[in-house]
């Protein structure tokens, strides 16, 4: 009796749909970004990212404990430093007692069983908001920036960072950072390379969160990738892996699912995705307006990253959804 093949049979019940699901997600696939500020008992909501906060160090520790309890295996810490500490050369990034270093040490002293990832880029520390040192020509100087990034990575490794994550997109920075870490005995500090970071309009809320926004669009097109290119992304990934990266990141996530898939298909390396601030804000504001269901749409987007080939996902909703997944 027609039809012999009925694909709907495997969809007839929830338990059966679970048995045949091709893609799964668990709290271990999620990484929680956390913004840190000075002070004590501080919690500042970020207006462009409803439900996301800047925390003082004591509250970062509380949040990290919740994340570990929910099954999340790593957090990523981003500092929002005082304006008077910023400079053209990002001197505060190399201060062994800066906000980020103190946060790392406090987390380690708290004995939380969770990995600590730290961004390697200068934009939170520069007056101009660029990810590196600006030269006389007005563009970011690649080689001076690589030297600065190597110093920053070493400072964070000394503080206790488990993974350093260069997000600057300078040429040659992975090799320089790896050499600098190894020379100082930090051979077991991992490098997560933001190997394909695109010059995207989806970063704006993040720049508000870390205080690197200049009030108008800041072009980083001379060092971040052109959104039209995929083959170039594969070259960037290949280069970073050859230079010593342990894992690679695609950023943003949802607009570049094809790049995530291509990376996961072409390279025998763990590929991470970053559901960036603009992606989070889009879904959150749409949900607050009643246009979509928050929980269902966020879950769908996280599954999409996994389906594309991402082994781990940075998401500002990570803690909330880890707790939901744990309950299931």
pLDDT 10s digits, 245-261: 999 999 999 999 999 99
> Across residues 228-240, what is the average pLDDT?
98
What pLDDT score does 253 carry? 96
- Rounded to an integer, the average pLDDT of 8-18 is 93
The kind and range of the H/E element at 76 are strand 74-79
What pLDDT, in 10s, does the model give residues 96-153?
999 999 999 999 999 999 999 999 999 999 999 899 999 999 899 999 999 999 999 9
Does the pLDDT of residue 210 top 90, yes or no?
A: no
**pLDDT surpasses 80 at 216:** no
3-state secondary structure of 43: strand
Q: What is the pTM of this model?
A: 0.95
Q: What does the alpha-carbon distance between residue 83 and residue 209 come to, in Å, rounded to a whole number?
A: 13
* Average pLDDT score over residue span 287-302: 97
Segment 254-283 shows an average pLDDT of: 97
Domains of the chain, each with CATH number or no CATH = 25-327 (3.20.20.70)
Residues taking part in catalysis: 197, 251
């Amino acid at each position: 009796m027609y039809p012999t093949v009925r694909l709907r049979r495997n969809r007839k019940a929830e338990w059966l749909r679970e048995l045949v699901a091709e893609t799964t997600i668990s709290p271990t696939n999620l990484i929680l970004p956390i913004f840190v500020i000075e002070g004590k008992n501080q919690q500042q909501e970020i207006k462009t990212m409803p439900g996301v906060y800047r925390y003082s160090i004591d509250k970062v520790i509380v949040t990290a404990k919740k994340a570990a309890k929910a099954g999340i295996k790593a957090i990523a810490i981003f500092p929002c430093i005082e304006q008077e500490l910023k400079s053209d050369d990002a001197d505060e990034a190399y201060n062994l007692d800066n906000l980020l270093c103190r946060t790392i040490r406090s987390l380690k002293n708290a004995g939380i069983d969770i990995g600590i990832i730290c961004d390697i880029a200068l934009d939170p520390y520069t007056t101009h908001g660029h990810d590196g040192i600006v030269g006389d020509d007005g563009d970011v100087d690649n080689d001076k920036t690589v030297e600065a990034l190597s110093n920053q990575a070493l400072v964070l490794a000394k503080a206790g960072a488990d993974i350093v994550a260069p997000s600057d997109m300078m040429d040659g920075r992975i090799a320089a950072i790896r050499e600098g870490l190894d020379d100082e005995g930090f051979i077991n500090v991992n490098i997560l390379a933001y190997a394909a970071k695109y010059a995207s309009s989806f970063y704006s809320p993040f720049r508000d969160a870390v205080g690197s926004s200049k009030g108008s669009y800041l072009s980083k097109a001379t060092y971040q990738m052109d959104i039209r290119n995929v083959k170039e992304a594969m070259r960037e990934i290949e280069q970073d892996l050859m230079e010593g990266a342990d894992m690679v990141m695609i950023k943003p996530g949802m607009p570049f699912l094809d790049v995530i898939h291509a990376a996961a298909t072409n390279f025998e390396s763990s590929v991470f995705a970053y559901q960036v601030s603009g992606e989070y804000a889009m879904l959150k504001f749409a949900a607050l307006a009643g246009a979509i269901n928050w929980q269902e749409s966020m879950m769908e987007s996280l599954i999409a990253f996994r389906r594309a080939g991402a082994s781990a996902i940075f998401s500002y909703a990570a803690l909330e959804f880890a707790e939901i997944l744990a309950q299931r």
